[in-house]
Structure 1
Amino acid sequence: MVPQLATKYVFTITARVGAVTSAGETGHGVRRIIPILGGEVTGAITGKVLPFGADFQIVRPDELIDLEAKYAFETDDGAVVYVENRGIRFGPAELLEKLKRGEAVDPKLIYFRTVPKFETGQERYRWLMQRIFVASAARHPDRVVVDVHEVL
């Protein structure tokens, strides 16, 4: 018998983000780069998002956004964890336009899901590399909030 899938909430990453830089239409869509300025980690792991890294996005013609964020956080006990988070964001065109202008949008109206992967050399957090995680996220004008869930 195959085990049933379920998820369990583990922690939240709140990443403060900077202004969007656009490389323009690349043939795959519009390439956007959003710097990660810092933030916090709360829940089963606590710490701070380090002030470097970025979210590298492709905005397709239908406004579906492919996301690939690369950054790191440091736990309160000094471990550094590298994060590579891929996913998609999609919703009604008028709401996505509001997000692009930096306006607030109810996160429940936007589909924003990711698959974060973690790397660390700290033994006490190696379990992050031995599990699969999925996340539900929300984009706010100045930050992205990512609720990370372990797939059981």
Structure 2
Amino acid sequence: MKKVAFLALFFSISIFVHAQELQSEFLFDFEISLHPPQAIGKVLTGTRLIYPFKDGQVKGDKINGKVLDCGGEWGLVVDSSTFKMDVRATIQTNDGALIYIAYSGYNYASGKNAVLMREGKGSELSPSDYYFRSVPVFETSSPKYAWLNHTVAVGVGRFPSPGKIIYRIYAIK
């Protein structure tokens, strides 16, 4: 019995020691201007708000372009402090490629910070005052950007001004 326990402990430690550490690489900033929300209202899972995109830009070392006006956010106010994102958009790169981006994630703040966020005043807060993370997924047929089709990414969001969002998108290595 001791031998079995020792082997189980040994293999558990070996797997943990040999696990890769997560590393990230900056991909691009995803800047979006929003139209005022379309308030669907109370639904079974919360309060649905739809934010159509006016326009946007993508700026980075590997990808630059614009966000086409066909995207938007189909967000859900889950409770007084949590907003669940559901976003779909199309990026047109400066060299003409089209990249579909879809992401979900959460925006969370507590207390008076949550009140400011609900009132659309997130730009009055420091990004350290709230949690704003997304998990983008990409699809493209462009050979140049095909590496995105199998890239795991994380976005860190902030509100630079009313009606505007910027995500800093990182590839997880």
Q: TM-score, normalised by structure 2?
A: 0.83
Map residues 10-49 of structure 1 onto 2, 5 A cutoff: 10-44=27-61, 45-49=63-67
- Distance in 2 (CA, whole Å) between partners of 1:60 and 1:87 is 12
- Distance in 2 (CA, whole Å) between partners of 1:146 and 1:123 is 25
Question: Which residue of structure 2 lines up, in the alignment, with residue 148 of structure 1?
Answer: 169
Stretch deviating more after TM superposition (58-67 or 125-134): 58-67
Cα drift, residue 93 of structure 1: 3.6
Runs (4 or more) in structure 1 with deviation over 4 Å come to none
- Distance in 2 (CA, whole Å) between partners of 1:2 and 1:115 is 22
> Structure 2: which 5+ residue stretches go unaligned?
1-17
Would you tell me which structure has more helix in proportion to its own residues? Answer: 2
Would you tell me which structure has more strand in proportion to its own residues? Answer: 1
Q: TM-score, normalised by structure 1?
A: 0.94
1:134 lines up with 2:151 in the alignment = no
> Structure 1: which 5+ residue stretches go unaligned?
none
RMSD: 1.3
Map residues 70-149 of structure 1 onto 2, 5 A cutoff: 70-103=88-121, 104=123, 105-139=125-159, 140-149=161-170
Cα drift, residue 107 of structure 1: 2.1
- Distance in 2 (CA, whole Å) between partners of 1:37 and 1:62 is 27
Task: Give the paired residue count.
Answer: 152
How has the CA–CA distance of structure 1 residues 34 and 93 changed in structure 2, closer, same or farther, with 3 Å as cutoff? farther
- Distance in 2 (CA, whole Å) between partners of 1:19 and 1:62 is 20
- Distance in 2 (CA, whole Å) between partners of 1:62 and 1:121 is 40
Deviation string for 1:125-147 (max 9, x for gaps)? 01111210011011341211010
- Distance in 2 (CA, whole Å) between partners of 1:61 and 1:147 is 26
Greater relative CO, 1 or 2 (CA 8 Å, sep 6+):
1
- Distance in 2 (CA, whole Å) between partners of 1:5 and 1:28 is 33
Larger radius of gyration: 2
Secondary structure of the corresponding residue to residue 3 of structure 1: coil
Question: Which residue of structure 1 lines up, in the alignment, with residue 14 of structure 2?
Answer: none
Contact residue 99 and residue 141 of structure 1 kept, 8 A: no
Instruction: Using the aligned pairs only, state the percent identity.
Output: 25
- Distance in 2 (CA, whole Å) between partners of 1:132 and 1:80 is 19
